[in-house]
């Protein structure tokens, strides 16, 4: 399989080149040259397959030409060491719980898969001794990537995050690890962090001295595995007898998660349509309304992982739909919600249905309330454990949220981070000094 750049100004790349490079030389995002439609028999039998079996078939469609089957099977098995269950919340609305991994966030799937795939490609290439993974985070990406790559030979990870704009638990998950993980605390926004990462990839001097790649959803090996749990969710809904007319609502920030779902749909997954749920950072919603994409500085909200003013994966959505606004808004609708609406939703659902939402899942739930029709089955993505947002959630429910043991262990660690301005030259000098 070859991969092309969304900017169309770079040579096609092999899977190894796309994964190790992260971003294309023309600053575009890599896309597979083709997307395989899985056979009808796969969907007919999907409810009788395990999560691992489903994911291996999907992974083979994307990566089977480039990685031996037994190795790909092992990568998938090692990635999916936890479940992603579908849980009924109320009549017609179901939660896809993606917080049962080691860092209690959906990004554990993509980050663990990418870490293992990157480790495999490094081991196969004798000319590469070390790769530096750069990752910008608005919250959960940093912890998932840091923990997924922790201790992997030949890989150094640098996590950039906006000072004061992630929760305490999120911050502790990537600033207390040590070993091959370094946290850089940027005096700015997530968009500043993302800009620093993208600028590093196209800086000639940096790339002469370092092998750089990214573990954000701009990396194809981080993005595509996130489609696994959409297929697994459909299988669970089918077992429940409610898999007709499925509408999926995705809390959306950098739009990697919903893009993975759109890939799954392109492969034949029977999803009727998607809803993109935004917080006040509603750039995509404005695009759906006007056909004009206008990035803006991000705004801090209680759903901080969605505080993105220029979502990278918008470029991939454009590619999937041939840049057609009409086709995009035909498959995806959108809503945005204020902090007050999010907090009220957490309190209301906890009281009425005894289900505890995190701020991002609350956006997903609200999106279904706004956009679901009576004959449809609604599935929203509960992307992180509510305990990762203790202050917000406990205030909303006026009660205590139990903290899982995995998160408690992180909170006991000692934070270490490198303070940094948002100036690229300062970040560049820092990276070169590590060489």
HSE on the CB side for 390, CA within 13 Å?
13
- 69-79 vs 107-124: helix crossing angle, rounded to 10: 140
| Helix, strand, coil percentages, rounded to 5, for the chain | 50, 15, 35
| Burial category of 254 from C-beta neighbours within 10 Å (exposed 0-12, middle 13-18, buried 19 and up) | buried
From the list 198, 175, 258, the residue with the least C-alpha distance to 28 is 198
Helix (H) or strand (E) holding 148: helix 140-149
Burial category of 427 from C-beta neighbours within 10 Å (exposed 0-12, middle 13-18, buried 19 and up)? buried
**Cα distance between residue 116 and residue 111, in whole Å:** 9
* 3-state secondary structure at position 248: strand
Q: Please indicate whether residue 107 is annotated as part of the active site.
A: yes
Cβ atoms of residues 409 and 389 within 8 Å: no
Which pair of tokens denotes residue 220? 């194809």
Q: 26 to each of 12, 21, 23, 380, how far by Cα in Å?
A: 11, 12, 8, 35
Mind giving me the DSSP string for 49-97?
S-HHHHHHHHHHHHHTTTS-HHHHHHHHHHH--S---EEEEETTEEEEE
User: In terms of DSSP bridges, do strands 3-5 and 30-32 run parallel, antiparallel, or are they unpaired?
Assistant: antiparallel
Nearest partner of 43 among 378, 274, 267, 320, judged by Cα: 267
Is beta strand 86-90 parallel, antiparallel or unpaired with respect to 332-336?
A: unpaired
Q: Identify the active-site residue in 71, 107, 415, 428.
A: 107
CA distances, 242 to each of 111, 238, 354 (Å)? 30, 6, 22
Which residues participate in catalysis according to the annotation? Answer: 107
């Amino acid at each position: 399989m070859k991969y092309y750049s969304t900017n169309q100004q770079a040579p096609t790349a092999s899977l190894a080149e796309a994964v190790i490079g992260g971003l294309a030389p023309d600053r575009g995002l890599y896309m597979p040259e083709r997307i395989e439609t899985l056979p009808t028999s796969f969907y007919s039998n999907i409810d009788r397959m395990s999560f691992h079996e489903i994911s291996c078939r999907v992974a083979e469609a994307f990566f089977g030409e480039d990685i031996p089957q037994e190795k790909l099977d092992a990568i998938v098995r090692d990635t999916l060491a936890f479940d992603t269950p579908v849980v009924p919340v109320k009549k017609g609305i179901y939660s896809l719980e993606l917080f049962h991994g080691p860092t209690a966030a959906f990004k554990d799937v993509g980050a663990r898969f990418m870490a293992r795939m990157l480790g495999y490609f490094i081991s196969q290439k004798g000319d590469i001794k070390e790769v530096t993974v750069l990752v910008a985070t608005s919250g959960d990406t940093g912890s998932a990537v840091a923990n997924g790559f922790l201790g992997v030979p030949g890989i150094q990870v640098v996590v950039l995050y906006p000072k004061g704009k992630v929760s305490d638990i999120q911050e502790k998950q990537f600033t207390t690890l040590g070993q091959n993980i370094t946290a850089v605390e940027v005096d700015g926004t997530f968009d500043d962090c993302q800009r620093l990462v993208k600028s590093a990839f196209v800086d000639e001097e940096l790339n002469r001295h370092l092998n750089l790649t990214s573990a954000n959803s701009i990396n194809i090996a981080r993005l595509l595995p996130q489609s696994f749990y959409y297929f697994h969710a459909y299988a669970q809904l089918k077992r429940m007898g409610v898999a007709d007319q499925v509408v999926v609502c995705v809390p959306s920030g950098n739009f990697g998660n919903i893009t993975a779902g759109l890939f799954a749909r392109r492969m034949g997954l029977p999803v009727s349509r998607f809803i993109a749920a935004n917080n006040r950072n509603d750039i995509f919603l404005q695009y759906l309304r006007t056909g004009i994409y206008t990035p803006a500085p991000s705004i801090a909200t209680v759903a901080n992982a969605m505080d993105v003013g220029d979502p990278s994966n918008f470029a991939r959505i454009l590619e999937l739909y041939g840049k057609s606004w009409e086709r995009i808004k035909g498959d995806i609708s959108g809503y945005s919600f204020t902090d007050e609406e999010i907090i009220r939703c957490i309190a209301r659902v906890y009281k009425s249905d005894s289900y505890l939402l995190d701020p991002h899942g609350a956006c997903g739930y609200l999106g279904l309330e706004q956009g679901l029709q009576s004959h449809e089955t609604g599935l929203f993505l509960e992307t992180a454990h509510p305990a990762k947002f203790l202050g917000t959630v406990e205030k909303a429910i006026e009660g205590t949220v139990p903290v899982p043991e995995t998160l408690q262990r992180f909170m006991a660690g000692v934070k270490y981070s490198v303070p940094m301005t948002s100036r690229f030259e300062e970040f560049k000098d820092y990276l070169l000094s590590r060489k």
